Chain A
């Protein structure tokens, strides 16, 4: 079964893998194409432009801050913050002397600015111009610092401001996206490959599941075949009692059922053959026995008769004894003759004379042979005509009825029923006698097996032989103390 199972698994695997190959190719192509939709020179150009535009706006805003400071007139006695512009929110205005010492400061409510340190002034000094803008994007603090001359004195003026949060956020976002794009474009094959690997992993799981299902299915399919193989081996070895476990209703299940039926029929045929062979042997013995016993009976009878006839009767006592012996010998010879007849009948049984006939009239006729015993008939109306030997079937019925009468001395009616069961006609003969012990039920149809004090035990053996010659069956169902039912099944041909 391993070969079939392996083949089935390979077939399943092939079925699973075959469509997978073009699908993998397709998925690979699609992933790469999808990737290229997002990562291509056009997108890069747009992102670059976006960042450049944001940067330009940012620089322009810084210039605007510087200009706003330039336009701010400062008066130490009365410092005034300029009005907020579109993008700038001014937070603090500070004035320093030429040494960087804070002279005056005007803060927006809730936004106090720290004084500038020496580094700020030195950076201004490093530039060629007189103004500078310090940026702290993270804190959103921008400081414009300018050197002025007021009344001949050098002073520094600083204006601290915050840029529009949305602008900062959006410009940073555009940069982040651009950087992400750059990162993606630096490893163009990496990301699609990961998705392809993920697909392959999923596919592998599907293939694995397919193999699992294939193993399970193939096992389910091949297991009954394996059992059938074992069954044929057992039957081949002569074990006709071996049966394969029942399967479901598919073709294999049907095969199993047919196999079991075949094994059963084989067993029945074997048993029947053995039985018929045994019967043939018993018949041969009976015929020879009858012949050997029958031949000397007449000379014995004539001799004893001669002895009785020749005696002159001078001795009355002896003559009486002679008469008594003569009577006993004659009785025994008659018994032997009856026995010989039975043996002879059993041994002689001629071939069946089959003809189409109806069974119910035969049963009716047989009942009439027993006017002194009540026999109840239950014959259904749909009994079809059968092909049978009328005399033999009559004998079967007589044997069964006589057995029933002898078994049931209570005088209760013997019940004979007949019904059509499809391929067979079933005849039951029921008595309410003492029943048959279960150990004897198997042997009762064998020759010379009897439960009666008188009789040689050939009746049921002959009955079975007649039934089996008709391709029928006979069985007994008996319960000690409750009676027996003999069931004869004759085929409808």
Chain B
């Protein structure tokens, strides 16, 4: 038995709204798929995490998807959307490890990160760059010697985690048995 349990899912309109805007601005979009196989008592049987980093090269008009182990390039958004709908053959566990388990369920958590820490740091650097946000002194003769670095003060309230913009969704499958998957009529 070298078969594996895999899952597939559909996510319509994945590349719309802010995801689309972020992608079109050339910023990376991170997608994290977290699949947990749970037994009948909701105990974790297996966990698989798939991470994807999507970027759009504005200049060359192509989409790049980086996934540990394999990178893909798409020439259009349509092609990218097609790859994601449906998302197929996402392996969870070898069948032999769960053959006897009853009433299994898959809990799929999808997290989309629009603003990465790197980009957040860039924003922070920009906000706290004196040249960007502080006006120059009106004249040297008006300098009293007192200088308040407002940006430095504001930076006290900035944490790296602050600038991450993300959202996530969670879905649970129906309960199933491995044997039922091979004989779907008997086990609906």
Residues of A within 8 A of B (CB): 51, 55, 58-59, 135, 137, 171, 175, 178-184, 186-187, 190-191, 193-195, 197-198, 201-202
Contact = CB atoms under 8 A, between A and B. Distances in A.
B22 to A, nearest CB: 6
Interface of B: 18, 21-22, 25-27, 58-61, 114-115, 119-120, 122-123, 126-127, 150, 153-154, 156-158, 162-163, 165
B58 A183 contact: no
Nearest to B152: A198
30 contacts: A55-B61, A58-B59, A59-B61, A135-B59, A135-B60, A137-B59, A171-B59, A175-B25, A175-B26, A178-B25, A181-B25, A182-B21, A182-B25, A182-B27, A183-B115, A183-B119, A183-B120, A183-B123, A184-B123, A186-B22, A186-B165, A187-B165, A191-B127, A193-B157, A194-B157, A194-B158, A197-B157, A198-B153, A198-B156, A201-B153
Nearest to B158: A194
B58 A180 contact: no
A306 B153 CA distance: 121
Contact of B150 (A58, A191, A198): A198
Contact of A187 (B60, B61, B163): B163
A193 B27 CA distance: 24
Given A183-B123, A190-B162, 12 more contacts: A171-B59, A175-B26, A178-B25, A183-B122, A186-B22, A186-B114, A187-B165, A194-B158, A195-B150, A197-B154, A201-B156, A202-B153
A190 B164 CA distance: 11
A186 B59 contact: no
B163 A182 contact: no
A182 B115 CA distance: 9
A402 B27 CA distance: 117
A194 B115 CA distance: 18
Contacts of A171: 59
The 10 A-B residue pairs with the shortest CB-CB distance in the complex, in nearest-first order? A182-B25, A186-B165, A198-B154, A197-B157, A194-B157, A198-B153, A183-B123, A194-B154, A186-B115, A179-B25
Nearest to B116: A183
B100 to A, nearest CB: 47
Nearest to B162: A190
Contacts of A194: 154, 157-158
A186 to B, nearest CB: 4
Contacts of A179: 25-27, 119
Contacts of B115: 183, 186-187
B157 to A, nearest CB: 4
B122 to A, nearest CB: 7
A167 B21 CA distance: 25
Contact of B58 (A55, A186, A195, A197): A55
B59 A182 contact: no
Contacts of B153: 198, 201-202
Contacts of A59: 61
Contacts of B127: 191
A198 B119 contact: no
Which of A135, A175, A194, A201 has the most CB atoms of chain B within a 10 A radius of its CB?
A: A194
B154 A180 contact: no
A180 B162 contact: no
A175 B57 CA distance: 11
A187 B150 CA distance: 21
Contacts of B22: 182, 186
A190 B163 contact: yes
Contacts of A175: 25-26, 58
Nearest to B165: A186
B127 to A, nearest CB: 6
Contact of A198 (B123, B126, B157, B162): B157
B157 A183 contact: no
B126 to A, nearest CB: 6
A195 B21 CA distance: 27
Contact of B126 (A51, A135, A180, A197): A180
B123 to A, nearest CB: 5
Which of B120, B126, B154 has the most CB atoms of chain A within a 10 A radius of its CB?
A: B154
Contacts of A186: 18, 22, 114-115, 165
A80 B14 CA distance: 52
Nearest to A186: B165
B162 to A, nearest CB: 6
B64 to A, nearest CB: 14
Contacts of B154: 194-195, 197-198
Nearest to B133: A195
A333 B3 CA distance: 154
